[in-house]
Amino acid sequence: MVFITKFARIGVQAARQLRATPLATAQWRSFHITSMLDKERRYTDKHEWVELLDATKAVVGISNYAQEALGDVVFAQLPEPGTELKQDDECGALESVKAASEVYSPVSGKVTEKNAQVEDTPALVNSSCYDKGWLFKVDLKSPTEYEKLMTEEQYSAFVKSSAEH
């Protein structure tokens, strides 16, 4: 019991010291804000998504709706690193056993990385379209383009209304 009380006091004292240190507090706040930034995906009406990695970098993929509509993806052609893209540029293709679909860039910027695993194993798009099945990363030219894309709620409503027509 005495050990637990001393440990609790040490924990409280350490927390007070940490809060009193401006650098440590600033680092924690910075990490916290960054971790919140990269969690919101935005969507296009062509079913691509983009998620911020930081204020100037993003990752792009296709939505779950798109991968379900395509079926089993068997081929992926992705943009090469260094490629300059404008919003809505055709920049790649996905082929499945039942259809082929172009990939469009949801934002303007320079491709910094393509997901070579998707080119080697295109089925990753089906099994993990938001995680391992991302398509490419881009340095954003205009972060405001991201803000104008559909939120998850807006995209869900868009897909629902499209299915009804």
Count of alpha carbons within 13 angstroms of residue 2, beta-carbon side: 0
> What is the arithmetic mean of pLDDT over 103-112?
98
The answer to whether residues 42 and 64 belong to one domain is: yes
CA dihedral 147, 151, 154, 158 (to 10 degrees): 90
- Using the predicted structure, report yes or no on whether residue 80 has a pLDDT greater than 60: yes
- Using the predicted structure, report yes or no on whether residue 21 has a pLDDT greater than 90: no
Give the total number of structural domains in the chain.
Answer: 2
With left for phi above 0 and alpha for psi between -120 and 50, is residue 101 left, alpha or beta? beta
The answer to whether residues 30 and 46 belong to one domain is: no
Q: Model confidence at 39, in pLDDT bands (50, 70, 90)? A: low
Based on its alpha-carbon atoms, the radius of gyration of the chain, rounded to whole angstroms, reads 21
User: Given this model, what pLDDT does residue 164 score?
Assistant: 80
> Which CATH number covers residue 154?
2.40.50.100
- Using the predicted structure, report yes or no on whether residue 10 has a pLDDT greater than 70: no
The answer to whether residues 49 and 117 belong to one domain is: yes
Query: How much is the pTM?
Result: 0.75
Question: By residue range, what is the domain housing residue 12?
Answer: 1-37
Residues whose CB falls within 8 Å of the CB of residue 78, separated by 6 or more in sequence, listed in order? 91, 92, 103, 114, 115, 118, 119, 135, 136
The answer to whether residues 80 and 124 belong to one domain is: yes
